[in-house]
Amino acid sequence: MRTFLSVLIFLLFSNNTLQAESDTQIKQEATEIVKKWNNSFNNKDIPALRTLFGPTVYYYGTNLNNNEVIIDIERQLLTSYNQLIKSDIEVSFYTTGIIKCEFIKEVFVKGKRKSYPSYLLLLKTGSEYSITGESDEISDKNTNGNNNIGLESGMYIERESKFSWFLVVTFLLTILGFYLVFREFKKKSNKSNDNYLAEAKITSNQTFKNRPTFFPSESEKGHDFEKFVVDRFKKEYFILKHWRSDKMHNGISPDSNKYPDLEYDFKTKSAKAKIAIECKWRSGFDDGKIEWAKDYQIKNYIHYKKENGVDVVFVLIGIGGMPNYPDELYIIPLEEITSTILYKKSITKYQRFSKSSFFFNPDYRTLT
């Protein structure tokens, strides 16, 4: 199916391109014939003119043979005849294969100058062109040439479109292409619906308990908040030494789970310190308070600080919003927390309103 459409599109575009290139080439060649005809006239080159004209020529309202045309041209050239093409050469095509080249011809005869809306009719046979007509609009009007001789000879019937059949075929192929695409889409749609109904039937027999959930787990929420916190420590000053995410399987967890989540070495040219961060995210305050930890966890954090030479432990609490971008952020030194329950009104002074990078003051041991 896709191969067919690809071939169809290729043929349509390639044919259009080839037709356009063919027209352009023919117009260029026809223009050169007109220029050659004009130069031969001015150079009085009778042999060249005889070669240019075809066996039969529509010549200013009359059909003449090649020899009769040349005799008339020789008569003109006995005088001080000269001509000049003053305009661009417009090329058009006819259903009979005739190519019409229109231009303004300025004629000099016996010191007088006149301009005529003229044209040549060309016919291409193989790779050769021959002039099958020479006239101008004034002569045609005077001799009724357009209405009689031209139409009778079939030379003046302008074709509606050189590629009319091509357009018809293109249209039919396009309709066929749309039909095949629609049929393929409908087939896939029906198959998709069948699969959906089959899956729905199976799912309807499942309980909510067995259905997969797409909500993040508590550990995933915690990890997202940790990433939010880590992003705000500048690597130029804070070297991350440990990142402990809570891990557990069938009740088995590493001993490091009881320690703070993050541990940093803070270094500048004039100061250094070791700090630890415990990250907690809650969706909101419950009646103006949250439980941020259990008693044993607080004891573990205090023990960890003493045993590992940590200068200060901070508890970072995110409230509301999303774990990776909370609405509120609180930075509380562990040593200033005395309970597992924190009230919003009591921790307001620790709220950090900026979401930019953290700044640690080693003298006051504050993180802002």
Tokens 């909510």 sit on residue = 208
Q: N- to C-terminal Cα distance for the chain?
A: 64
| Same domain assignment for residues 147 and 258 | no
Tell me, yes or no, whether 127 and 259 share the same domain.
no
How many domains does the chain fold into? 2
Global pTM? 0.43
Assess whether 358 and 281 both reside in one domain: yes
Examine the domain organization and report whether 7 and 97 are in the same domain. Answer: yes
Is 141 found in the same domain as 222? no
- What sign results for the dihedral spanned by CA atoms 321, 216, 356, 362? positive
Q: Using H for helix, E for strand and C for coil, what is the string for 315-354?
A: EEEEECCECCECCEEEEEEHHHCCCCEEEHHHHHHHECCC
- Tens digit of pLDDT for each residue in 95-123? 788 999 999 999 888 778 888 899 999 99
- Is residue 10 one of the residues assigned to a domain? yes
* Residues spanned by the domain of 121: 2-162
145 and 237 fall within a common domain: no
Residue 277 sits in a domain whose CATH number is 3.40.1350.10
For residue 110, give the CATH number of its domain: 3.10.450.50
CA-wise closest residue to 81 among 49, 131, 38:
38
Give SS3 for 13. Answer: helix
**Same structural domain, 25 and 95:** yes
Residue type, 245: S
Is 235 found in the same domain as 103? no
In the structure encoding, which two tokens stand for residue 130, read together? 């021959």
Q: Phi/psi at 206 (nearest 5 deg)?
A: -90, 155
331 contact partners, CB below 8 Å, separation of at least 6: 314, 315, 316, 350, 352, 358, 367, 368
Structural domain contains residue 191: no
Residue 207 in domain:
no
pLDDT, position 135: 92
**For residue 200, is it within any domain?**
no
DSSP string for 160-187? S-TTHHHHHHHHHHHHHHHHHHHHHHHH
Residues 153 and 285 in one domain: no
Q: Please give the chain's pLDDT, 368 residues, in tens.
A: 555 555 555 555 555 555 555 788 889 999 999 999 999 999 999 999 999 999 999 999 889 999 999 999 998 888 778 899 999 999 998 878 899 999 999 988 877 888 889 999 999 888 899 999 999 988 888 876 554 444 344 444 444 444 455 666 677 888 887 888 777 776 665 655 555 445 544 444 444 444 444 567 888 899 999 999 999 999 999 999 999 877 766 767 777 788 999 999 999 999 999 999 999 999 999 999 999 999 999 999 999 999 999 999 999 999 999 999 999 999 999 999 999 999 999 999 999 988 789 999 999 999 99
Angle at which helices 2-42 and 164-204 pack, to 10 degrees?
A: 160
